[in-house]
Amino acid sequence: MISTEIARQVLTIGPEHVHPKGGIAQIIYNYSREVFPSGYFWYISNSCEGNKLKKIYRLISALIQCFFILLFCWRIKIIHIHTASRFSFKRSSWFIRMAKIFGKKVILHIHGGAFKKYYSSDRDFIERILGRCDWVVVLSKAWEEWFRSTVGVKNVMVVPNVIPLPESYEHPDDEGIFHLLFLGYIAEGKGVFDMLKAISANRSKLQKRFLFHVAGNGRVAEFKSRVEEMDLHDLVRYEGWVDSNAKHKLLCQCDALALPSYFEGLPISLLEAMSYHRPVLTTPVGGIPSIVEDGVNGLMVQPGDCNALGERILYMVEHKEEMQAMGEASLEKVKPYLPDSVSSTLEELYRILINY
């Protein structure tokens, strides 16, 4: 963990994290438990689940709370803001402006996998806001290079997403079934519907040998409808949105995790699965190539290539012992993302800003 001396000078801002339902929220939750010492995680939630009115109320409340903390809490030197694209970035811009008015150092921690597309849609605004930040934090070397070369940000560095090691990771007797798990937001961009197409195309070869578990929120009704239309009840199981205990059980039960996304930052679900000694089936987008090596700790396909996806699924089912070996390689890949390593990197950045 970072030192108490440093932690008491940092205010973190981001989405609600008490019961995390998204990647950024999960990272902030992990920060509160694994990176910051108990009782020294100063935090303001600037967004939440719910309708538009509830979200507006949360934002206004957060701005008011931030104003009074900066006005009266002289210890705070650094504002660490976790953000993504579009509304998340615009919401964060208000806190950046306020922090600079009070003379605070600002770290903008960008998680969104779709940030390149967002940048091309509103370059002037984004560059203006980034120019007010003292440091920009990203999730991989690929993103760091892009921000330096394309956006022109000089003070940018990589701070890996943090994950704790699970207390246990062994899975129970599966009676010969290969369990593949998806964790996250159910949408086209995550490749979930591509998975259904791939499974349907290989139905006869997968029956009684394979089960695809899907846990998360998002376009749930559409997902269930497609499963119904394709008659995949015996091969696909929707687990609903899961809390930490249910997620742990699913990660223990599964043989591998699937995330064939079209764009990503550095997905927490991949890191979590790797910490459970699991291989992954994914795509070479965003920061994923920095943690997944095809044929070493997982298998890669190009986004949207359902034929290749089906072939990879069959390969995993037919080479279970090889998948177990890949799972052991996953643990080695994920070590830089464990709490001690991330805490050290983050404290170094905080000290640079405090002593600047």
* 42-79 confidence digits (pLDDT tens): 999 998 877 889 889 999 999 999 999 999 999 999 99
**CA nearest to 81, candidates 50, 118, 108, 116:** 108
Q: Which helix (H) or strand (E) holds 275?
A: helix 268-275
Q: Which helix (H) or strand (E) holds 15?
A: strand 10-15
Q: Tell me what pLDDT residue 173 has.
A: 61
Q: Which helix (H) or strand (E) holds 47?
A: strand 42-47
The answer to whether residues 332 and 189 belong to one domain is: yes
Mean pLDDT confidence for 222-236: 95
Q: Tell me what pLDDT residue 168 has.
A: 73
Q: What is the pTM of this model?
A: 0.77
CA–CA dist 53, 56 (Å, integer): 5
Tokens 């699937």 found at = 258
Give yes or no for residue 21 having a pLDDT over 70: no
The string of DSSP letters for 108-123 reads EEE--TTHHHHHHHSH
Give yes or no for residue 20 having a pLDDT over 70: no
Q: Is residue 142 part of a domain?
A: yes
The answer to whether residues 286 and 148 belong to one domain is: no
Q: Is residue 150 part of a domain?
A: yes
Cβ proximity of 216 and 182 under 8 Å: yes
Q: Is residue 167 part of a domain?
A: no
- The range of the structural domain enclosing residue 312 comes to 178-336
Q: Tell me what pLDDT residue 222 has.
A: 96
CATH number where 271 lies: 3.40.50.2000
For residue 19, CA distances in Å to 40, 150, 218, 230, 243 come to 19, 36, 16, 33, 8
Structure tokens that stand for 127 in this block? 């560059």
The answer to whether residues 9 and 156 belong to one domain is: yes
One-letter amino acid of 136: V
The answer to whether residues 103 and 206 belong to one domain is: no
For residue range 265-315, list pLDDT tens digits in order: 788 899 999 999 999 999 999 889 989 999 999 999 999 999 999 999 999
Q: Is residue 173 part of a domain?
A: no
The answer to whether residues 201 and 76 belong to one domain is: no
The answer to whether residues 34 and 152 belong to one domain is: yes
The answer to whether residues 329 and 344 belong to one domain is: no
Q: Is residue 171 part of a domain?
A: no
Residue 28 CB contacts under 8 Å (≥ 6 apart), including other chains: 12, 14, 15, 17, 20, 43, 82
Provide the domain count of the chain. 2
The answer to whether residues 301 and 220 belong to one domain is: yes
Residue 234 CB contacts under 8 Å (≥ 6 apart), including other chains: 207
The answer to whether residues 123 and 236 belong to one domain is: no
CA angle, corner 253, sides to 328 and 187, nearest 5? Answer: 95
For residue range 230-277, list pLDDT tens digits in order: 999 999 999 998 888 899 999 999 999 999 999 887 888 999 999 999
Q: Which helix (H) or strand (E) holds 69?
A: helix 52-72
Q: Is residue 166 part of a domain?
A: no
Cβ proximity of 327 and 277 under 8 Å: yes
Q: Mean pLDDT highest for which of 17-31, 149-163, 173-187?
A: 149-163
Give yes or no for residue 160 having a pLDDT over 70: yes
What are the phi and psi torsion angles at 39 (to 5°)?
85, 0
Percent of the chain with pLDDT over 90: 72
Q: Is residue 172 part of a domain?
A: no
The answer to whether residues 326 and 200 belong to one domain is: yes
One-letter amino acid of 183: L
Q: Tell me what pLDDT residue 152 has.
A: 92
The answer to whether residues 326 and 193 belong to one domain is: yes
Mean per-residue pLDDT over the chain, rounded: 91
The answer to whether residues 328 and 342 belong to one domain is: no
Q: Is residue 252 part of a domain?
A: yes
3-7, 172-176, 209-213, 271-275: least confident range: 172-176
